[in-house]
Each structure stands twice: as structure tokens, then as C-alpha cells.
Amino acid sequence: MIDTLAGRLDEAAVSRTAVAQFGADAGLDVATAYAVQEALVARRLDRGETVVGLKLGLTSRAKMAQMGVDEVIWGRLTDAMHVPDGGTVSLSERIHPKVEPEVAFLVEGGAIVAVAPAIELIDSRYLDFRFTLPEVIADNTSASGFVVGPWRPVPDGVDNLGVLLEVDGRVAQVGSTAAILGDPRRALPEAARLAGELRDGWVLLAGAATAAVPLTPGAHVRVTVEHIGTASLRASA
Ligand code: OOG
Ligand code: MG
């Protein structure tokens, strides 16, 4: 079953066609869902991609409420998901992408050594962007892309910084880093606990501080985290 479900999700991503939720009949539990995720990401690795980091999801109430799921989840980031800061994201390569403001950490020797503003692109492989907890875990927690702004040393106190998501110069979401686990630095022990592994040089996305917004053709998206900086992307027309 693990390989069948991984194959279905991989095919959905590659063909940019959403699939139906697996439903209760599939009997997917959280442990099996993570095994599906591993098999799904293994297909990417077989195509030459490498894992470059981890992401946490549903670390804020805003995201839990938006998605109707209330447990912290984690997924894998690969090099192919990386979008350069200011780069263009292809909409035709995705199903129904959304963007959300994130804080990224650089991990070295089991510790956080730098911080950056980030944008996560999420793109559920399920119809209507709807799923249960095991379903979204199996789908690599909707991971599709990420932009990391300039790295800088971690300033004192990153636990209550303003977060702004702008689309075409208009404010789309505002929040605070306090929304991320009470303090985004908690992402490190949380990721270590959940994933059991954090390699040197990996990027860790701590989770969105606000709800996500749909990415529309030609949109210019900018995320600003107070005292940390700015990251941006543009969607293809
Ligand atoms: C699941 C991924 C959630 C976050 O930052 O909370 C996530 C989803 O919303 O589709 O990445
Ligand atoms: Mg996210």
C-alpha cells in the first residue's frame, strides 16, 4: 500500500493533476503516512534530487485553522524545490499553489547558526487542497518550493517579530513570529524530535506565521520579517 499511495501522489505532482483524498478505507495512520512520504521523496531522489532541508507545518494556529488539522507535521525539502530569491516560479508546473511567509534557519552542528526570511510554496496534490492529517503527511506536507532571503546571524529575541506578506505591493497577511510555536527557534528541537535527523548545512523552515494565499499568474510576492529582512518571488504569467 505504501508504494501505491506514494506512486499516486508522485504521479499527481508530475502530471499536475490533483487526486482524490485516499479516504477512510485506505486506513492510513500517521506512522504509515510518514512511510508513504519517505517513499514519495525517494522517487524524487531516484530522479537525481537531493534532500537539502526539512520543513515544519501547522506550527501556527492560523495554519491549523485554515487547514482544519491541528498537529505539527514535518516534510522534506529537495534542491529541485529551491527557488532563488527574486526568482520566477512556474505556475504551469503546479496544481493550485499557495504562498506563505516563513522563517528559515540554517543548521550546523545540531544548532541554529543563521536566520533568513523565507517564502514557502505549498501545492497539495489532493483535490480542492483538502486532506486529513495522515493524508497531508503522506503528501510531503504539501511541499512544492521555497525561497530563502539573505542569511544573517540570529539576533537576540526572534520570538515576537512582525511578519508581512505582500502581493503586488498590497498587504495580504500580517502576523508575528510568536505565532510559530511561541518562538520559531523551537522549530529546531521540534524537528530533531520529529524527524530524528538534521544534517549540517540543511535549511529548516519553521512553519508559516499566517494563513497561506493563492499564487496567481504574474503576482509579485514579498515576505518581510522585522529585523531579519525580505525575500521575494514572481509567479509566471
Ligand atoms: C500543509 C503544510 C503546512 C505550514 O507552514 O504550516 C505548512 C498545508 O497547509 O497544505 O507548510
Ligand atoms: Mg509552510
What does the pLDDT look like over 76-116, one tens digit per residue? 999 999 999 999 999 999 999 999 999 999 999 999 999 99
Q: Which residues contact 34 (CB under 8 A, 6 or more apart)?
A: 137, 138
In this predicted structure, what is the pLDDT of residue 216? 97
**pLDDT tens column, 164-222:** 999 999 999 999 999 999 999 999 999 999 999 899 999 999 999 999 999 999 999 99
3-state DSSP assignment of residue 145: strand
Distance in angstroms (rounded) separating the CA atoms of residues 191 and 94: 27
Q: Which residue type, as a one-letter code, is found at position 73?
A: I
For residue 26, the model assigns a pLDDT of 87
207 Cβ contact list (under 8 Å, min separation 6):
55, 56, 57, 58, 59, 60, 63, 72, 102, 180, 181, 184, 187
Distance CA 124, CA 144 (A): 8
Per-residue pLDDT band at 24 (split at 50, 70, 90): confident
Task: Work out which ligand 1 atom sits closest to the CA atom of 63.
Answer: 6
pLDDT at 14 over 90: yes
Average pLDDT over residues 106-133: 97
Kindly list the protein residues whose Cβ atom lies closer than 6 A to any atom of ligand 1: 55, 57-59, 63, 67, 100, 120, 122, 124, 136, 141-142, 207-208
Instruction: Please state the atom number of ligand 1 nearest to the C-alpha of residue 129.
Output: 10
The residue whose CB lies within 8 Å of the most ligand 1 atoms, and thus the one to mutate among 66, 94, 120, is 120
Say how many Å lie between the CA of residue 69 and the centre of ligand 2.
Answer: 13
Model pLDDT, residue 103 = 98
Among 110, 99, 85, 72, smallest CA distance to 202 is for: 110
Measured in Å, residue 87 CA sits from the centre of ligand 2 at 19
Which ligand has the shortest distance to the CA of 60?
Answer: 1
Range of weakest confidence among 29-38, 63-72, 163-172? 63-72
* Ligand (nearest to CA of 146): 2
Instruction: Tell me: pLDDT of 25 over 90.
Output: no
HSE-CB at 174 with a 13 A cutoff on CA atoms is: 4
| CA gap 222, 100 in Å, rounded | 10
User: Alpha helices of the chain — where are they, by DSSP H?
Assistant: 2-15, 30-46, 61-67, 133-138, 187-195
Cα distance between residue 52 and residue 200, in whole Å: 10
Give me the torsion for CA of 235, 220, 209, 194, rounded to 10°. 30
Q: Is residue 227 within 8 Å of residue 152, measured between CB atoms? A: no
Average pLDDT, whole number, for the chain? 97
